[in-house]
Amino acid sequence: MNSHQLFRNSRFRLALWYALVMGAILSISGFGMYRTLVKAKWEALEQEIESIAGTLHDSLEPMLPISEAPTLVLQQIFPELCVVGQTCNTNPTLIQRHTIGISDRNTYYIRLFDDGGNLLAFSPNQPTKLTQTWRSVSWQTLRSTNGIRYRQFTIILHSAAAHQEVNNSNPASSWGYLQIGRTLESFDVEVKQFQWILAFWFPIALSGVGISSWWLSGLAMQPIYESYQQQKEFTANAAHELRSPLASLLATVEAILRIPQSNPQDIKTMLQTVERQGRRLSNLIADLLFLTSLEHNSSSPQLFQPCCLNDLIGDLTEEFLELTTFAKIDLISQIPDDEIYVLGNEPQLYRLVSNLITNAIHYTPNDGQVVVSLTACDRTAFITVKDTGIGIPPSEQARIFERFYRVDSHRDRKTGGTGLGLAIARAISQNHQGDITVKSQVGTGSLFTIHLPVVASNKKASD
């Protein structure tokens, strides 16, 4: 399986897990919200029924007769109700329509029973085929023949005389029962709307979760994929860098084995080649280990010490002076009088500046110039290395700090080195909370600038 297929499968699995987890959360949240809304509306509906039933109960009890035949009294109290055994008046007057106190007669109905559970009176709009006897339950949910549901509440009624009895909670002392019911048609319509909303929007939400999961998994996998590509490129470059000196070394050893022992001078020359290639391999491995240690922050900032950049640059210019003289390059250092200190590892800082000066010298032709300067501004030290060399194309400037990367596509090694100098320089600067920037123009030269945080700046005492 190639790397692209591997990462694609990993992205698919990650997106699938994202979608499953988010889908489960969305499903639980949606169902919980739906249940909460339905329960809240149901409880509000029951409270409304109880409130109206309580209002009617408190208004009716003082007027209830003790008589066993309360038909006349009921007709006076409830002119809209139909009395059992009599013809209903379905066209009440305006005054009669406001005597019961129920807010919406199309929504509510009432029924009255005597203490024996026999129906005495009922609303004309009550559901069809309701039982004519009372059931000893407070709450009931009924369904009419046309499929409309009703919620019904029953409450005990006592006459005024019954309240004077000691045991007024005894069912035998009750006058009868009041039932008030409410149609659930509007409630069922709203519940149906909730269900349709969930049925319509839930698949859309899940589709959005799936698309966003694929996008998020791509974002999550991108750094891993880039790191894998960098490691893959690094492995290929390292293999290339190691293969050449190893091949040269093996070829030299084979040649030594074929040379007669009578030619010691030739053997000595070839052994020197072996030594040179061995040192090159050793330097390459040492640079790789050093770069790895820097990238893993093995140099603890707690071990850093104040380092004087003035002395460091002064020592480096003296060290490279002989090399630049031999190469006919003018090396100039510009160091301020004020001493500039940074917190860091002095050998690492020494190598940081040394790598930049070495690169500048190697890529500057004869009679050229390399200028190393030190300045400080706003608690930041700036070390610049400017040369008049061949320059770097703009398209290559973003990649020159990669490991083993060379601007020359043919990987020219005439200048020596391992191809890790600038990568090590950037790693050292970042390890010291700094950075390196480059400005270059082909045929004109390059300017490398190191940015480091300053910890102290002392003015030298005058003589």
167 pLDDT more than 60: no
Find tokens 């210019």 and name the residue: 317
pLDDT at 98 exceeding the cut of 60: no
H-only helix segments in 296-420? 309-326, 346-362
Percent of all residues in the chain with a pLDDT value above 70, rounded to a whole number = 79
**Is residue 282 domain-resident?**
no
Identify the pLDDT of residue 383.
Answer: 94
Burial of 48 (0-12, 13-18, 19+ CB in 10 A): middle
Residues paired with residue 438 on neighbouring β-strands, in sequence order? 448
Summarize the confidence of residues 348-374 as an average pLDDT.
Answer: 90
Mean pLDDT rounded to a whole number for the chain: 79
Segment holding 342, helix H or strand E:
strand 338-344
Q: Is 227 inside a domain boundary?
A: no
Q: Which domain holds residue 452?
A: 301-459
Q: What is the mean pLDDT of residues 138-150?
A: 85
Could you tell me the CATH number of the domain that includes residue 308?
3.30.565.10
Strands 176-183 and 149-157: antiparallel
Residue 243 lies in a domain: no
Domain assignment present for 209? no
Rounded to whole angstroms, how far apart are CA atoms 152 and 46? Answer: 9
Q: pLDDT tier at 89 (50, 70, 90 boundaries)?
A: low
Lowest mean pLDDT among 44-48, 109-113, 237-241, 295-299: 295-299
What are the pLDDT digits (tens) for 7-38? 888 888 888 998 899 888 988 988 899 899 99
**What residue type is assigned to position 273 of the chain?**
T
Residue finishing a domain among 156, 191, 226:
191
Q: Taking the CA atoms of the chain, what radius of gyration do you get in angstroms? A: 48
Cα→Cα distances 227→11, 79, 233, 423, 424, Å: 15, 87, 10, 16, 18
pTM strictly above 0.85? no
In this predicted structure, the answer to whether residue 96 has a pLDDT above a threshold of 50 is no
pLDDT at res. 430: 87
Residues facing 332 on adjacent strands:
371
- The reply to whether 222 falls in a domain is no
Which of 169, 191, 213 lies at the terminal end of a domain, its last residue?
Answer: 191
Q: Which CATH number is 116's domain given?
A: 3.30.450
Residues 6+ apart with CB under 8 A from 454: 340, 341, 342, 376, 379, 380, 381
- pLDDT at 381 (0 to 100): 92
Hey, what are 391's tokens?
């320059």
Predicted confidence at residue 94, as pLDDT, reads 39
318 lies in a domain? yes
Residue 378 lies in a domain: yes
List the one residue out of 407, 430, 427, 404 whose CA is nearest residue 417: 404
Distance CA 368, CA 445 (A): 10
Pair 185, 326 in one domain: no
Residues 177, 306 share a domain: no
Q: How far apart are CA 183 and CA 203, in angstroms?
A: 32
Answer yes or no: is 288 within a domain: no
Residue 450 has what pLDDT? 93
Bridge-based pairing state of the strands 119-122 and 380-387: unpaired
pLDDT at 409 over 60: no
Domain limit, last residue, from 141, 167, 191: 191
286: number of Cβ within 10 Å: 12
The pLDDT of residue 69 is: 54
Residue 370 has pLDDT above 90, yes or no: yes
Q: Report the domain count for the chain.
A: 2
Q: What share of the chain is helix, strand, coil (3-state, %, to 5)?
A: 50, 20, 30
* 40-54, 164-178, 209-223, 340-354: least confidently modelled range: 164-178
